[in-house]
Amino acid sequence: MSIDEIDRRILRELQRDGRITMAELGERVGLSSTPCGRRVARLEAEGVIKGYTARVNQRALGLPVTVFIAVELENQGADTLARFEKAVAGFEEVMDCFLMTGRQDFLLRVVAGDLEDYERFLQHKLTRIEGIRSIRSRFALRRVADRPDLPMGG
């Protein structure tokens, strides 16, 4: 898969506005709509573009609390990792989950309506996953950067 500068411009524009028309997108990147559409279709087929979503304001939805949770497992066996990954993938409160290097095995980003919602999530969901050694929570005070797009450098 080869990504050239035009592809990067297309990706940059789609990250800014996923609802843009092919005609407008083509105009912004210097192509007519047909070749632009072909490039977008290729980027989708190659998995560079995974899909299109709406960015939602979590505070407006009544979910102002963001918690980062570092989880250490009792062991790093394939079954333990898979069990944990499957469990957290099913929790709607978990926005992101990363397998990490270092002491903690996973880092989760969780949203909640308030501290009581977070406590319920912790007690009734997260701590019930077998194989967890420790859980350390850190509460975000405010978001400093909010980038919807990835850098499209060369």
Tell me: the pLDDT tens digits for 112-131? Answer: 999 999 999 999 999 999 99
Q: Which residue has the higher pLDDT, 124 or 152?
A: 124
pTM: 0.83
The residues facing 139 across adjacent strands are: 67
| Six token digits for residue 80 | 């333990």
Backbone angles phi, psi at 67, to 5 degrees: -125, 135
- Please check the confidence at residue 153 and state whether its pLDDT lies above 70: no
**DSSP assignment of 45-97:** HTTSS--------TTTTT--EEEEEEEEES---HHHHHHHHHHHHT-TTEEEE
Tell me: the pLDDT tens digits for 8-55? Answer: 999 999 998 999 999 999 999 999 999 999 999 999 999 999 999 888
The residues facing 97 across adjacent strands are: 108
For residue 148, the model assigns a pLDDT of: 72
Q: Are 125 and 91 in contact (CB under 8 A)?
A: yes
Torsion, Cα 99 82 84 96, to 10 degrees, reads 40
